[in-house]
């Protein structure tokens, strides 16, 4: 049996890791996966050496404050990889940690597969050289990444985006609204404040302020999606009449929503794939923002806007991420049918551009199994 180190240190990475594990299991491949993950991976037969909750942080300053813990985890994982004689490693996203780990793994003679490219097209292009040196094969998910890695002569496979296989609705829009007491004339507003504690802490109060302003003009029913690694005690700022739903109901909630306020990230693409107009918001520690802004090469933050090549959904970043501005942008969506239709049309085009005949997890499974068969 082959033994594979897998690192899925974030909520979205764990989603994609579960897809890969299930694909290996469906094919009857004899592989044992262990490493850094969460509860969903553990439920899929993964050996959880370190829970990913301990690495859930965002921003340069926030990461710096936890460097000792991060170093301890990295050293533990590397030591285990050597002791277990890992046949390979599959590292998903999380480049500040995973590229350091990749370097040490390759020096130990362990092949490294890297899934979800660092955003070299947005900032820190120098990471391409690290990828070329330390990654055996890179699995990329966006079509615009292909020419970058062709030019840089990096070994890669384009898989398409794994969210297309993940986004599935289990309950019809009308049924969801009826079951949750949303009347025909009500507007369902969904809030997605993020999967990291820092995101929730920095964004939730502004979201609540926007909701209070919107209530003065619209018959709102408001629902908040709680990410799996966020605890209820971290949501004390949520108004008591707002329904909090677990992540498992997230796609049904988005599908039933009239508009969404969401942190920048994977949730933007989830909303777009389901055709739901949204406003993207983001705020980090001020020093983190000032340090990072110097290196950012593009003027767009939401991956949906980046894929569109222009601003389709409003982005409210840092100082713009205020209750009043969120209110204004959501009000535009609710008041202007033409704007909603334009957004949905662009979302459909993006969805079509990301489609592949084969699921990303199947492509990854086949590649790794073939490489390690010898």
DSSP codes of every residue in 181-212: T--TT-EEEEEE--SSHHHHHHHHHHHHHHHH
135 & 239 share domain: no
Q: Is there a contact between 93 and 12 (Cβ–Cβ < 8 Å)?
A: yes
150 & 226 share domain: no
Residue 54 has a pLDDT of: 78
- Residues whose CB falls within 8 Å of the CB of residue 190, separated by 6 or more in sequence, listed in order: 222, 223, 224, 225, 253, 254, 257, 259, 260, 261, 262, 276
Residue 25 has a pLDDT of: 95
First-last CA distance in the chain? 13
CA dihedral in degrees (260, 273, 349, 297; nearest 10)?
A: 70
57 & 152 share domain: yes
152 & 188 share domain: no
Q: Is there a contact between 195 and 10 (Cβ–Cβ < 8 Å)?
A: yes
Is 360 part of any domain?
no
pTM as predicted: 0.85
Q: Element (H or E) spanning 337, and its range?
A: helix 337-354
Is 307 part of any domain?
yes
Cα-based distances in Å from 80 to 24, 34, 49, 142: 22, 10, 9, 33
116 & 237 share domain: no
The residue from 113, 130, 158 where one domain ends is 158
Record the tokens describing residue 221, joined without a space.
Answer: 């029913």
Is 98 part of any domain?
yes
Cα-based distances in Å from 296 to 123, 131, 134, 201, 357: 5, 19, 24, 24, 33
Grouped pLDDT means (10 residues each) for the chain, 374 residues:
95 94 94 96 95 69 64 95 98 95 98 96 90 98 95 96 93 97 96 89 94 97 91 83 93 98 94 98 69 62 93 95 97 97 97 91 96 86
Is 258 part of any domain?
yes
Residue 265 has a pLDDT of: 87
- Residues whose CB falls within 8 Å of the CB of residue 158, separated by 6 or more in sequence, listed in order: 140, 141, 143, 145, 146
DSSP 315: E
Q: Is there a contact between 362 and 164 (Cβ–Cβ < 8 Å)?
A: no
> What is the Cα–Cα distance from 192 to 200, expressed in whole angstroms?
9
Is 112 part of any domain?
yes
11 & 70 share domain: yes
142 & 193 share domain: no
Residue 60 has a pLDDT of: 46
Cα-based distances in Å from 243 to 155, 190, 222: 46, 10, 7
SS3 label, residue 280: strand
26 & 49 share domain: yes
125 & 233 share domain: no
Helix intervals (H) in 27-126: 39-43, 60-64, 67-83, 95-107
99 & 195 share domain: no
Is 349 part of any domain?
yes
36, burial (CB in 10 Å: exposed 0-12, middle 13-18, buried 19+): buried
The number of domains in the chain is 2
DSSP 27: T
Q: Is there a contact between 300 and 315 (Cβ–Cβ < 8 Å)?
A: yes
202 & 138 share domain: no
Q: Position of tokens 């409210």?
A: 316
Backbone angles phi, psi at 128, to 5 degrees: -55, -40
Residue 61 has a pLDDT of: 44
CATH code of residue 253: 3.40.50.2000
Cα 26 from chain centroid (whole Å): 25
31 & 95 share domain: yes
Q: What is the extent of the structural domain holding 74?
A: 2-158
Residue 296 has a pLDDT of: 59
Is 120 part of any domain?
yes
Is 19 part of any domain?
yes
């Amino acid at each position: 049996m082959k033994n594979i180190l897998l690192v899925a240190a974030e909520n979205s990475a764990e989603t994609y890791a579960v897809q890969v594990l299930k694909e290996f299991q469906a094919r009857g491949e004899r592989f044992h996966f262990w490493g850094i993950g969460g509860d969903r991976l553990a439920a899929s037969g993964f050996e959880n050496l370190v829970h990913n909750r301990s690495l859930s942080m965002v921003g340069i300053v926030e990461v710096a404050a936890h460097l000792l813990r991060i170093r301890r985890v990295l050293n533990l994982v590397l030591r285990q990889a050597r002791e277990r004689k890992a046949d390979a490693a599959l590292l998903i996203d999380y480049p500040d940690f995973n590229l350091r780990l990749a370097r040490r793994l390759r020096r130990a003679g362990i092949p490294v597969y890297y899934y979800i490219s660092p955003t070299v097209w947005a900032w820190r292009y120098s990471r391409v050289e690290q990828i070329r040196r330390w990654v055996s094969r890179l699995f990329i998910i966006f079509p615009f990444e292909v020419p970058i890695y062709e030019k840089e002569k990096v070994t890669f496979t384009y898989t398409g985006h794994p969210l297309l296989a993940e986004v599935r609705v289990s309950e019809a829009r009308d049924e969801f609204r009826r079951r949750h007491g949303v009347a025909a004339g009500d507007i369902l507003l969904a809030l997605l404040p993020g999967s990291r504690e820092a995101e929730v802490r920095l964004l939730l109060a502004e979201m609540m302020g926007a909701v209070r302003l919107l209530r003065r003009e619209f018959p709102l029913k408001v629902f908040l999606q709680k990410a799996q690694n966020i605890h209820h005690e971290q949501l004390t700022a949520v108004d008591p009449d707002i329904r909090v739903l677990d992540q498992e109901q997230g796609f049904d909630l988005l599908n039933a929503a009239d508009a969404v306020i969401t942190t920048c990230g994977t949730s933007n693409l989830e909303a777009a794939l389901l055709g739901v107009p949204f406003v993207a918001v983001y705020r980090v520690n001020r020093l983190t923002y000032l340090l990072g802004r110097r290196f950012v090469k593009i003027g767009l933050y939401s991956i949906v806007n980046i894929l569109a090549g222009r601003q389709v959904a409003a982005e409210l970043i840092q100082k713009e991420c205020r209750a009043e501005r969120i209110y204004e942008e959501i009000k535009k969506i609710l008041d202007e049918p033409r704007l909603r239709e334009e957004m949905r049309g662009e979302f459909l085009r993006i969805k079509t551009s990301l489609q592949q005949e084969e699921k990303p997890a199947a492509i990854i499974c086949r590649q790794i199994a073939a490489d390690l068969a010898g």
